[in-house]
Amino acid sequence: MTNLRYKFKIPDPSRPLAGEVPSFGPTCELIDFVPPAVIVDMVIGRAVEQLCTHVGTYGMGGPGFFGLRLGSDWLVIAIWGAASWIQFDGRLVEDWFLDTNGRPRPWMTDEGDDLTGVVVGQPITAFEVAKHSLTAHIGGRTLSISESPESRPILEGNKQPRRFEPNDDLRKAVFLSPTIKIWV
């Protein structure tokens, strides 16, 4: 139940908008951004400097892509509500309906963030992304997206599983970006 085929735009810092800038809009002209697929060598050995579960925007809100800052680049997982798809050491990153569904507490909740302190400063030592799965070893621990929807909470609106469609390809939705201000 996902669509990993987005068209992206990012702000061009060399072309700031003239006049009064809207509070919810970009501050620079947007340019097309077609990120190439991540090559393992682009991320191996790089330390995580920051974590963000709200990467991306469509102007008034965000798709909730997941990002890890690696120096001047962001490693982005461009799945809508990505933190509800991702597990770290077998525990979901986010699950906003854990009480309703009786699921275990995720790493990040309204009460706190147990994940950032564990990840920041740690190097990525292994990285593999396949059509419907992802595994990254970060500081001896494992960040993953399983092919099976059984490890993820259902979508609350339609009660359907968070699953990949046959034509989805996660390899096209995991990329490096110079910014988390990604417009979809």
Structure tokens at 26: 């970009």
Q: Which of 51, 41, 49 is nearest to 76 (CA)?
A: 51
183 in a structural domain: no
Tell me, what's the pLDDT at 21?
Answer: 66
Environment class of 74 (CB within 10 Å of its CB; exposed 0-12, middle 13-18, buried 19+): buried
142 in a structural domain: yes
Q: Which residue do the tokens 């597990």 mark?
A: 87
Rounded to whole angstroms, the Cα distance separating 142 from 133 reads: 13
With b for 16 or more beta-carbon neighbours within 10 A and e for fewer, the 39-71 pattern comes to eeebbeebbbeebbbebbbeeeebbbbbbbbbe
184 in a structural domain: no
List pLDDT tens digits, range 141-184: 999 999 999 988 888 888 888 999 999 999 999 999 999 999 99
Tell me, what's the pLDDT at 145?
Answer: 97
* The dihedral formed by the CA atoms of 94, 145, 54 and 125, expressed in degrees to the nearest 10: 110
Mean pLDDT value of segment 59-85 = 93
List pLDDT tens digits, range 22-43: 677 788 899 999 998 899 999 9
Tell me, what's the pLDDT at 96?
Answer: 86
67 in a structural domain: yes
76 in a structural domain: yes
For all residues of the chain together, what is the average pLDDT?
91
Parent domain of 64 = 8-177
35 in a structural domain: yes
List pLDDT tens digits, range 14-24: 998 887 766 77
Q: Does the structure show a pLDDT above 80 at 4?
A: no
- The predicted model scores a pTM of 0.92
Tell me, what's the pLDDT at 153?
Answer: 85
Tell me, what's the pLDDT at 22?
Answer: 66
82, 97 Cβ separation under 8 angstroms: no
Structure tokens at 9: 């735009």
101 in a structural domain: yes
- Number of domains the chain contains: 1
With b for 16 or more beta-carbon neighbours within 10 A and e for fewer, the 127-166 pattern comes to bebeebebebbbeeeebbbbeebebbbbbeeeeeebbbee
Tell me, what's the pLDDT at 1?
Answer: 40
2 in a structural domain: no
List pLDDT tens digits, range 91-112: 999 998 877 777 889 999 999 9
